[in-house]
Amino acid sequence: MTAQLIDGLALSKQLRGEAAARAAALTAQGKQPGLAVVLVGDNPASQVYVRNKVKACEEAGIHSRLEKYDASMTEAELLARVDALNNDPTIHGILVQLPLPRHIDDHKVIESISPAKDVDGFHIASAGALVVGEPGFKACTPYGCMKMLESIGMKDLRAKHAVVIGRSNIVGKPMALMLLAANATVTVCHSGTADLGAMTRQADVIVAAVGKRNVLTADMVKPGAVVIDVGMNRNDEGKLCGDVDFDGVRQVAGWITPVPGGVGPMTIAMLLVNTLESAERAATSA
Ligand SMILES: Nc1nc(=O)c2c([nH]1)NC[C@@H]1CN(c3ccc(C(=O)N[C@@H](CCC(=O)O)C(=O)O)cc3)C=[N+]21
């Protein structure tokens, strides 16, 4: 028996269709949602991601403003741009593409974004809201993973054990908190974990978010488990691959997400969903 695929591309299209309907309703009231994407420097991967985000906005009827700056831009200049976007009523979401050039403090830049427009969910106010269970923007990648679980009937994870591999601020930590909020029993593993396989073999849900190939192999997976692959790596042939040994693990798992076509498209879909939520909030409070 091989695992069933969780098709992130198909699910993302459905969510983007719903987003388009909500965007059209706002636009009809003269309140078109707007997302600003700020790119500093010429990281080739970032260029591709940013283009995909802008394209997704266009397709959903969300106004997008792409601001591209030279890598020599100063931190003060970037902070001034964010401030202008914070005060721009046509912009409901601000995304500053990471990584930033080394001379710019990304923490400082992220904290300068108004929490009301923090559609990435990276601001301390958004992260804190998730910790205490208050409303706030959820980080797009883990939020998309939760939607994928929901799509296979796993909205409530009571009595399930979820193992997250990775503890980054943008995926691992918020992922663990979202799984916890869905009533899972959560274990967070990382480079300091003594026996990763011993942990993952107990898991009903495994989320791999390390950024290294073959972190999860078939011998580490309980038969029937759900495996979500957040990784974005290149294999020896230069092809995009995740953190999971897909061909091996799919022989054991019950469900698995592919790379590409899994978590990546969901991340973009949730960015649109967050932008809409921000625009809807602004429309009702105005
Ligand atoms: N402030 C900020 N917010 C981000 O959300 C953010 C960021 N910075 N910096 C970079 C990472 C990366 N990221 C991706 C989103 C979608 C795909 C995606 O759609 N991937 C496609 C494949 C794309 C391809 O073929 O290269 C897929 O998995 O099917 C990938 C990567 C968002 N990021």
Q: Is residue 281 part of a domain?
A: no
Confidence of residue 79 (pLDDT cuts 50, 70, 90): very high
Cα 94 to middle of ligand 1, angstroms: 16
CB 249 within 8 A of CB 216: yes
Residue 39's domain is classified under what CATH number? Answer: 3.40.50.10860
Residue 26 in this model has a pLDDT that exceeds 90: yes
Q: Backbone phi, then psi, for 9, in 5-degree steps?
A: -65, -45
Amino acid at residue number 260? P
Residue 238's domain is classified under what CATH number? Answer: 3.40.50.720
Give the per-residue pLDDT at 200: 98
Whether ligand 1 lies within 6 angstroms of the CB of 274 is answered as no
Confidence of residue 61 (pLDDT cuts 50, 70, 90): very high
Amino acid at residue number 8? G
Say if residue 145 is in the same domain as residue 112. no
Residue 51 known to bind ligand: no
Helix 8-28 and helix 263-285, axial crossing angle in degrees, nearest 10: 20
Ligand 1 atom closest to 271 (CA): 5
Say if residue 159 is in the same domain as residue 256. yes
Give the per-residue pLDDT at 285: 85
Percent of the chain at pLDDT above 70? Answer: 100
- Other beta carbons less than 10 A from residue 61's beta carbon: 18
Residue 1 in this model has a pLDDT that exceeds 80: no
Give the per-residue pLDDT at 8: 98
Q: Which tens digit of pLDDT belongs to each residue from 248-276?
A: 999 999 999 999 999 999 999 999 999 99
Average the pLDDT over 104-108 and give the result. 97
Give the per-residue pLDDT at 45: 86
Say if residue 148 is in the same domain as residue 242. yes
Give the per-residue pLDDT at 137: 98
Give the per-residue pLDDT at 21: 98
Q: pTM for the full model?
A: 0.97
Say if residue 104 is in the same domain as residue 155. no
Residue 239 in this model has a pLDDT that exceeds 90: yes
Tokens of 166: 């990775």
Task: Give the residues across from 185 on adjacent strands.
Answer: 161
Percent of the chain at pLDDT above 90? Answer: 96
Q: Is residue 182 part of a domain?
A: yes
Whether ligand 1 lies within 6 angstroms of the CB of 180 is answered as no
Give the per-residue pLDDT at 282: 97
Q: Which residues are catalytic?
A: 53, 97, 120
Q: Is residue 90 part of a domain?
A: yes
Average the pLDDT over 10-19 and give the result. 98
In sequence order, what DSSP letters do the residues of 161-225 get, joined into one string?
EEEEE---TTTHHHHHHHHHHTT-EEEEE-TT-S-HHHHHTT-SEEEE-SSSTTSB-GGGS-TT-
Q: Is residue 197 part of a domain?
A: yes
Residue 22 known to bind ligand: no
Residue 127 in this model has a pLDDT that exceeds 90: yes
DSSP single-letter state for residue 116:
G
Tokens of 66: 């792409």
